[in-house]
């Protein structure tokens, strides 16, 4: 680890541990995690209070401000979001891989063969638009707490008549806590996606608890994020933001990263993803070649994680 990074990383760990011991603010739905668990796990169960929405939002207002500033360039193919655009096809490949890992139930009159998506933290709509265009999609509901990026998403959607078909794509300026809970499994979603979001969320544990309720039994929760390791700290904060400048400065806060093992443990405890219903794919951006799958990459860099809600 470069010497310059050590103090910051150390401070981060101290802060996380401190929060956990002094202010174990745990929502009623969140089970307590034993104090002996490693500091990293604490991150999943702790939460920070936000001055703007102290009661229940997982949204960090600093993040909202940051993404508001990025909004106008969201769809510029050579702009600051280029890496997200380039990653998008991989998201679909990963979802397909997750779905194909378990036998598909034969569609009957009651189980439609088309899928309902919920995209949390949709931003300018890169994934939401693409999911809505797929012929296997029934509907996409996409939510984001940042009003400016949603305006961009809405404006961009008007450039494609396919996306204007009634009910195909719905944008909501809401946080997950405000989204109405499904009253029956049919109202829940076949695929719930959280791409490049949990590293921007205040408290991933309580946030994921909210998300779980929207996944249909037999459906998949799919997310992508960055592992919290020294390599990812160097790559995202120093190389990508400072040296290459391919990611806007201030986009990442390494302290918020979540590791794949933490996710596995967390979901297994809730009885999700049994019978092989948990999938991981490590990916890496190679300048000049684009995003490439890297076996084992989930241990140290960007990765996808998919977990199936048991039937």
Token readout for 183 is 């009253």
Interface residue with another protein, options 10, 155, 246, 311 (CB under 8 A): 155
Judged by CB, which is closer to another protein: 30, or 130?
Answer: 130
How many residues sit in the footprint of another protein (CB under 8 A)?
Answer: 22
79-85, Cβ contacts within 8 angstroms, sequence gap of 24 or more: 80/247, 80/248, 81/123, 81/124, 81/126, 82/246, 83/246, 83/247, 83/285, 84/123, 84/126, 84/196, 85/126
Token readout for 180 is 């109405």
Token look-up 């948990």 returns 278
Token readout for 107 is 């569609």
Q: Give the helix/strand (H/E) hosting 118.
A: strand 115-120
Q: Please tell me what DSSP assigns to residue 50.
A: -
Judged by CB, which is closer to another protein: 160, or 293?
Answer: 160
Provide, rounded to whole angstroms, the least separation between the CB of residue 155 and another protein.
7
126-133 and 147-157 are packed helices; what angle lies between their axes, rounded to 10 degrees? 30
Among residues 55, 41, 13, the alpha carbon closest in space to that of 205 is found at 41
Scanning 160-168, 205-213, 216-224, 273-281 for contacts with another protein by CB under 8 A, the matching segment is 160-168
Q: Where are the beta strands (DSSP E) in 174-228?
A: 189-195, 215-226
24-83 residues near another protein, rule: CB under 8 A: 77-78
Give binding residues for S-adenosyl-L-methionine as ranges.
91, 121, 144, 195
Interface residue with another protein, options 21, 49, 160, 167 (CB under 8 A): 160
Whole-number Å distance between alpha carbons of 85 and 94 = 15
Report the relative pairing of strands 278-286 and 189-195 from DSSP bridges.
unpaired
Scanning 85-93, 225-233, 249-257, 296-304 for contacts with another protein by CB under 8 A, the matching segment is 85-93
Token readout for 217 is 């039994």
112-151 residues near another protein, rule: CB under 8 A: 129-135, 137
Judged by CB, which is closer to another protein: 52, or 78?
Answer: 78
Interface residue with another protein, options 19, 61, 68, 88 (CB under 8 A): 88
Whole-number Å distance between alpha carbons of 150 and 171 = 7
Judged by CB, which is closer to another protein: 130, or 265?
Answer: 130
Judged by CB, which is closer to another protein: 58, or 81?
Answer: 81
Give binding residues for Mg(2+) as ranges.
196, 199-200
Provide, rounded to whole angstroms, the least separation between the CB of residue 107 and another protein.
18
Kindly state whether residue 7 participates in binding another protein, applying the rule CB under 8 A: no
Contact call for residues 199 and 252 (beta carbons, < 8 A): yes
Q: Give the helix/strand (H/E) hosting 45.
A: helix 39-45
Interface residue with another protein, options 56, 85, 151, 264 (CB under 8 A): 85
Scanning 40-48, 156-164, 254-262, 277-285 for contacts with another protein by CB under 8 A, the matching segment is 156-164
210-229 residues near another protein, rule: CB under 8 A: none
Interface residue with another protein, options 6, 86, 243, 311 (CB under 8 A): 86
Kindly state whether residue 158 participates in binding another protein, applying the rule CB under 8 A: yes
Provide, rounded to whole angstroms, the least separation between the CB of residue 57 and another protein.
30
Interface residue with another protein, options 6, 164, 244, 311 (CB under 8 A): 164
Contact call for residues 231 and 299 (beta carbons, < 8 A): no
Q: Which residues of the shown chain bind another protein in the complex (CB under 8 A)?
A: 77-78, 85-86, 88-89, 92-93, 129-135, 137, 155, 158-161, 164
């Amino acid at each position: 680890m470069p010497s310059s990074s050590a103090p910051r990383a150390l401070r981060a760990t101290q802060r996380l541990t401190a929060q956990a011991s002094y202010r174990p603010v745990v929502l009623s739905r969140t089970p307590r995690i034993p104090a002996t668990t490693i500091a990293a796990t604490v991150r999943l169960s702790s939460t920070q209070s936000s001055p703007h929405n102290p009661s229940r939002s997982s949204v960090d207002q600093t993040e909202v401000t940051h993404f508001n500033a990025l909004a106008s360039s969201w769809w510029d193919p050579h702009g600051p979001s280029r890496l997200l655009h380039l990653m998008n096809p991989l998201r679909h490949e990963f979802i397909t891989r997750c779905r194909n890992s378990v036998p598909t139930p034969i569609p009957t009159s009651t189980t439609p063969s088309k899928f309902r998506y919920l995209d949390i933290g949709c931003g300018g709509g890169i994934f939401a638009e693409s999911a809505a265009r797929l012929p296997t999609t029934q509907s996409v509901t996409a939510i984001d707490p940042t009003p400016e990026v949603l305006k961009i998403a809405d404006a961009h959607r008007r450039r494609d008549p396919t996306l204007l078909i009634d009910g195909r794509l719905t944008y909501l300026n809401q946080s997950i806590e405000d989204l109405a809970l499904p009253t029956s499994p049919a109202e829940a979603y076949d695929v719930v996606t959280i791409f490049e979001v949990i590293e921007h969320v205040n408290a991933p544990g309580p946030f994921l608890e909210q998300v779980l309720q929207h996944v249909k039994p037999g459906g998949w929760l799919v997310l992508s994020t960055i592992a919290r390791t020294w390599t990812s700290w160097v790559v995202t904060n120093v190389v990508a933001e400072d040296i290459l400048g391919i990611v806007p400065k201030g986009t990442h806060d390494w302290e918020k990263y979540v590791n794949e093992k933490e996710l596995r443990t967390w979901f297994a405890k809730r009885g999700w993803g049994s019978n092989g219903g948990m999938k991981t794919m490590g990916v890496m951006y190679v300048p000049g070649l684009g995003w490439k799958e890297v076996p084992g990459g989930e241990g140290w860099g960007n990765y996808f994680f998919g977990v199936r809600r048991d039937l």
